[in-house]
Structure 1
Amino acid sequence: MTTAGRVIKCKAAVAWEYGKPLVTEEIEVAPPEADEVRIKIVATAVCHTDLYHLFEGMETELFPTILGHEAAGIVESVGSGVTEFHPGDKVIPLFINQCRECRFCKSPKTNLCDKGENGGHDELAFEKSRVTCKGKKLMPFMGIGSFSEYILMNQTAVAKIDPAAPLDKVCLIGCAISTGFGAAVNTAKVEAGSTCAVFGLGAVGLAAVMGCKFAGAERIIAVDTNPKKAEKAKVFGATDFVNPKDQKKPISEVLAEMTNGGVDYSIECVGNVEVMRSALESCIAAWGVSVIVGWTDREDFAARPIQLIAGRTWKGSLFGGFKGKDGVSEMVRAYLQKKIKVDEFITHTKTLPQINEAIELMKSGQSIRIVLNVSSE
């Protein structure tokens, strides 16, 4: 029996309260309306941003919610006005829209879209949500909510990908890999022969290391307080590993001594304002470029004006500067052509009911990326 045009009852991991374990529940997902696509999620990964909202973000009123935003799936049905997608298409949902019509989308200078982050992440998202459980509306996190067997998306926030792509691998391109890789290639614009430092070796940081290598950097210094990350960083192209806890001097001074005055490019992938400043100060004064990638909105960051006046540039990067639809499709092609690594990021695989085990693995630093196999292709 076709499910098109009908409410779908399916399983999802629901975060009912801030800071509490997720609960596997039966939810109801409405059929797509105009310009919407309903997607069967095949695989989704656990990202630290999900954990940030659950344990650190302090937005306690934005619950109950369905977390998850790094995913891949298959179009189940489409609403009126949708011509780009058809049932059976392999897709990756996006947390950055690309309408291709607004002034941002038409500009090569940004990957933002006038439609904003998909679906929003506020009380209005609750009002618009057509995903429910036990009579209560659930907010799809970052407009996606992929810890679910089915999701609803606006067509401007979905990327069609190569049908040959393995969904349980390329789901990582929906966030971590594109974010880190693009921060190096698109935002920092790392040059061949340069020296780089990457702070934080989670999936985003390792992707940034990979991006530096892809761009032709001669020396890539990986920085992390977890010594177990050293060997993993080398897999993606790091030439050196430095643990700040092992140093008697500030890490910026250590890197300056290692590189005759500072690195050409530094990329911060932690989300810690002190690390952001250290990354900036690790750059060479005259032309160094430092990129902030790590997500936080709880604290202000600061630097002395002379650190910029002397010639450094401080930049931010959202989703690696990739325009959503175009960038994700391009990255999937690059993976299929063996130009970038994806499989090497995956350290664990779980099922949706094992979501709390996956969260604990990530919290304890034992994983890089955990993929949840949600449905079969």
Structure 2
Amino acid sequence: MFCLLVFMCFGDRVEDKKIKEIEQVERRMVVNHSRFNILNFWPSLSKIVLRKRWAQFLQLRKDQEEVILPLIRARREVKEQRLRNLNVEGNEHVVSYVDTLLDLQLPDEKRKLNELEILNLCNEFLNGGTDTTTTALQWIMTNLVKYPQIQEKLLLEIKEVVGEGEEVVKEDDLGRMPYLKAIVLEGLRRHPPARLVLPHAVTKDTVVGEFVVPKNGTVNFMVADMGWDSKVWDDPMAFKPERFLNGEREVSFDITGSREIKMMPFGAGRRICPGYGLAILHLEYFVANLILSFEWRAVDGDDIDLSEKQELTIVMKNPLCAHISRRDAGSRAQVHD
């Protein structure tokens, strides 16, 4: 997942060693997010009281710059070469996320983004697109191990679409797999990667129902509780993908909330996560291919534990341990997620 996001971000097939460096520095920032978050409050005081923590943060920030800025500068050079109509190695040119940032113009300030601003947005892109999606993927695969009948039903749908003997589910196949889509939606409802969305604020005093939200008052939404509301969902703590299928066995649920809001793992309205479509595509693609290629089974005598813990996202307290075997072979292997 991270390799895919790096390619989308920088438009080049980065060497494995370099990807590992990017992954390590980004992971360190994610893991220490809660420790560094306190530095936002009263910085002039925290720089004195929390000197060591500030030093750790600044060192990590320096490490990010050393790893990622060369990739941004290389992409800028490729762009400048193309503008000068010079020969660029390789015939294929992928428009990357960084390319769009290099072109971006700030209308109010009448300038383009500087390198550190682009770096910040790349960090947001890599972490936001990887951590939340991999967390959701882990929860979905855990439930497919916990409920093998759902896994078998999904496998039948996949084989009906791709045909016997096919080894890969292609992107074009996904649109013909409503049960797959229902499984992904149920995973996001039952196990949203975040309990809350990013906070918002109102620009003026606003009345919402019986409540008055004062100007600049912070507003947030209990995303997990919305998806577990027994007034809206039947047996909300159960994993039932069928709840998203209508009488024609099609998914008619609107994840954007434009018609109604029954859950909002990506937010809703104008401020909805801009990457929600990409996240669902990645989840459907990875789940489908993991199920087509492998049979996933619980370890004998091991009860699937759905306990949670808070990192940047809500992850499994005890990561999934499962037996997997290739669909075309009898060999079995135990793997830890």
Between structures 1 and 2, the one with greater helix share: 2
Query: Same fold, TM exceeding 0.5?
Result: no
- Specify the TM-score bucket, using the shorter chain as the normaliser: under 0.3
Q: Provide TM-score, normalisation by structure 2.
A: 0.27
